[in-house]
Amino acid sequence: MTVIFSKKCEYGLQAVLYLAAKEVGGIVSADEIAKKLNIPKEFVSKILQNLTESGIINSKKGKSGGFSLAKHPANIRLIDVVAAIDGLGIFSTCVLGFPNCSPDHPCPLHEKWGALRTSAYNMLTEQTLDQLKEKTLHKIAHLEA
Protein backbone atom coordinates (compact mmCIF):
# COMPACT_ATOMS: atom_id res chain seq x y z
CA MET A 1 0.00 0.00 0.00
CA THR A 2 1.31 3.39 -0.93
CA VAL A 3 1.31 5.80 1.97
CA ILE A 4 3.20 8.80 0.65
CA PHE A 5 4.08 8.41 -3.02
CA SER A 6 2.02 7.79 -6.13
CA LYS A 7 2.60 4.51 -7.97
CA LYS A 8 4.31 6.58 -10.69
CA CYS A 9 6.75 7.95 -8.11
CA GLU A 10 7.41 4.50 -6.64
CA TYR A 11 8.24 3.18 -10.10
CA GLY A 12 10.35 6.25 -10.85
CA LEU A 13 12.38 5.74 -7.69
CA GLN A 14 12.86 2.07 -8.56
CA ALA A 15 13.93 2.88 -12.12
CA VAL A 16 16.43 5.55 -11.05
CA LEU A 17 17.86 3.26 -8.37
CA TYR A 18 18.21 0.56 -11.03
CA LEU A 19 20.09 2.95 -13.31
CA ALA A 20 22.32 3.92 -10.38
CA ALA A 21 23.13 0.28 -9.74
CA LYS A 22 24.40 -0.15 -13.29
CA GLU A 23 27.80 0.96 -14.54
CA VAL A 24 28.17 4.76 -14.44
CA GLY A 25 27.38 6.10 -17.90
CA GLY A 26 25.85 2.81 -19.02
CA ILE A 27 22.75 3.00 -21.18
CA VAL A 28 19.78 0.84 -20.25
CA SER A 29 16.65 0.31 -22.33
CA ALA A 30 13.15 0.90 -21.02
CA ASP A 31 12.46 -2.77 -21.86
CA GLU A 32 15.23 -3.94 -19.55
CA ILE A 33 14.05 -1.72 -16.71
CA ALA A 34 10.45 -2.87 -17.15
CA LYS A 35 11.42 -6.55 -17.20
CA LYS A 36 13.86 -6.41 -14.28
CA LEU A 37 11.50 -4.41 -12.06
CA ASN A 38 8.20 -5.98 -13.25
CA ILE A 39 6.75 -2.64 -14.30
CA PRO A 40 4.59 -2.21 -17.43
CA LYS A 41 6.84 -0.93 -20.25
CA GLU A 42 4.47 1.84 -21.31
CA PHE A 43 4.41 3.16 -17.76
CA VAL A 44 8.22 2.98 -17.49
CA SER A 45 8.65 4.90 -20.75
CA LYS A 46 6.39 7.74 -19.58
CA ILE A 47 8.13 7.96 -16.21
CA LEU A 48 11.57 7.97 -17.83
CA GLN A 49 10.54 10.76 -20.19
CA ASN A 50 9.35 12.79 -17.20
CA LEU A 51 12.69 12.22 -15.45
CA THR A 52 14.53 13.18 -18.65
CA GLU A 53 12.63 16.48 -18.80
CA SER A 54 13.59 17.06 -15.14
CA GLY A 55 17.29 16.57 -15.91
CA ILE A 56 17.70 13.52 -13.67
CA ILE A 57 18.33 11.09 -16.51
CA ASN A 58 19.51 11.30 -20.11
CA SER A 59 17.79 9.73 -23.07
CA LYS A 60 19.56 8.43 -26.15
CA LYS A 61 17.46 7.61 -29.19
CA GLY A 62 18.13 5.01 -31.82
CA LYS A 63 18.95 1.33 -32.11
CA SER A 64 21.43 1.39 -29.23
CA GLY A 65 19.41 3.96 -27.30
CA GLY A 66 18.12 3.96 -23.79
CA PHE A 67 18.50 5.82 -20.55
CA SER A 68 21.29 6.73 -18.17
CA LEU A 69 21.71 9.00 -15.19
CA ALA A 70 22.39 12.63 -16.09
CA LYS A 71 24.71 13.03 -13.09
CA HIS A 72 26.84 10.81 -10.92
CA PRO A 73 24.65 8.82 -8.48
CA ALA A 74 26.31 10.60 -5.55
CA ASN A 75 24.81 13.87 -6.86
CA ILE A 76 21.21 12.69 -7.10
CA ARG A 77 19.12 12.58 -3.95
CA LEU A 78 15.90 10.64 -3.56
CA ILE A 79 14.05 13.90 -2.92
CA ASP A 80 15.08 15.05 -6.43
CA VAL A 81 13.17 12.15 -7.95
CA VAL A 82 10.15 12.67 -5.69
CA ALA A 83 10.06 16.38 -6.54
CA ALA A 84 10.26 15.63 -10.28
CA ILE A 85 7.37 13.17 -10.25
CA ASP A 86 5.00 13.93 -7.37
CA GLY A 87 6.19 17.36 -6.31
CA LEU A 88 6.82 18.32 -2.71
CA GLY A 89 3.24 19.15 -1.73
CA ILE A 90 2.95 16.12 0.54
CA PHE A 91 5.55 17.74 2.78
CA SER A 92 3.58 20.96 3.23
CA THR A 93 -0.10 20.05 3.06
CA CYS A 94 -2.49 18.41 5.48
CA VAL A 95 -2.35 14.62 5.29
CA LEU A 96 -6.15 14.52 5.66
CA GLY A 97 -6.71 17.29 3.14
CA PHE A 98 -8.20 19.81 5.58
CA PRO A 99 -7.80 23.41 4.43
CA ASN A 100 -5.96 25.80 6.75
CA CYS A 101 -4.40 23.00 8.80
CA SER A 102 -1.71 24.55 10.99
CA PRO A 103 -0.24 24.32 14.49
CA ASP A 104 -2.89 26.83 15.63
CA HIS A 105 -5.74 24.90 13.93
CA PRO A 106 -4.47 21.31 13.65
CA CYS A 107 -6.23 18.35 12.10
CA PRO A 108 -6.52 15.17 14.21
CA LEU A 109 -3.23 13.80 12.79
CA HIS A 110 -1.30 17.08 12.56
CA GLU A 111 1.19 16.51 15.37
CA LYS A 112 2.03 12.87 14.61
CA TRP A 113 2.01 13.34 10.83
CA GLY A 114 4.24 16.40 11.14
CA ALA A 115 6.94 14.36 12.85
CA LEU A 116 6.68 11.55 10.29
CA ARG A 117 6.64 14.01 7.40
CA THR A 118 9.76 15.78 8.66
CA SER A 119 11.54 12.49 9.20
CA ALA A 120 10.63 11.25 5.71
CA TYR A 121 11.69 14.52 4.11
CA ASN A 122 15.04 14.47 5.92
CA MET A 123 15.71 10.85 4.93
CA LEU A 124 14.89 11.54 1.27
CA THR A 125 17.06 14.66 1.31
CA GLU A 126 20.04 12.92 2.90
CA GLN A 127 20.02 9.71 0.82
CA THR A 128 21.78 9.70 -2.54
CA LEU A 129 21.45 7.02 -5.19
CA ASP A 130 25.09 6.09 -4.70
CA GLN A 131 24.52 5.30 -1.02
CA LEU A 132 21.80 2.81 -1.95
CA LYS A 133 23.63 0.94 -4.73
CA GLU A 134 24.43 -2.25 -2.81
CA LYS A 135 20.96 -2.50 -1.28
CA THR A 136 19.44 -1.95 -4.72
CA LEU A 137 21.56 -4.71 -6.27
CA HIS A 138 20.55 -7.05 -3.44
CA LYS A 139 16.86 -6.25 -3.91
CA ILE A 140 17.00 -6.68 -7.70
CA ALA A 141 18.69 -10.06 -7.27
CA HIS A 142 15.78 -11.16 -5.08
CA LEU A 143 13.23 -9.94 -7.63
CA GLU A 144 14.74 -12.28 -10.20
CA ALA A 145 14.76 -15.29 -7.87
Q: Where are the domains of the chain?
A: 7-144
H-helix segments, the chain: 7-21, 30-37, 41-53, 78-85, 110-126, 133-144
Q: Please write the tens of the pLDDT for every residue from 15-57.
A: 999 999 987 778 999 999 999 999 998 899 999 999 999 999 9
Q: Return d(Cα 139, Cα 92) in angstroms, integer.
A: 31
What is the DSSP-derived secondary structure letter of residue 105? S
pTM summary value = 0.88
Q: Return d(Cα 67, Cα 57) in angstroms, integer.
A: 7
Q: Please write the tens of the pLDDT for every residue from 60-78.
A: 988 888 999 999 999 999 9
Q: Which amino acid would we find at residue 143?
A: L
What is the CATH code of the structural domain delimited by 7-144? 1.10.10.10
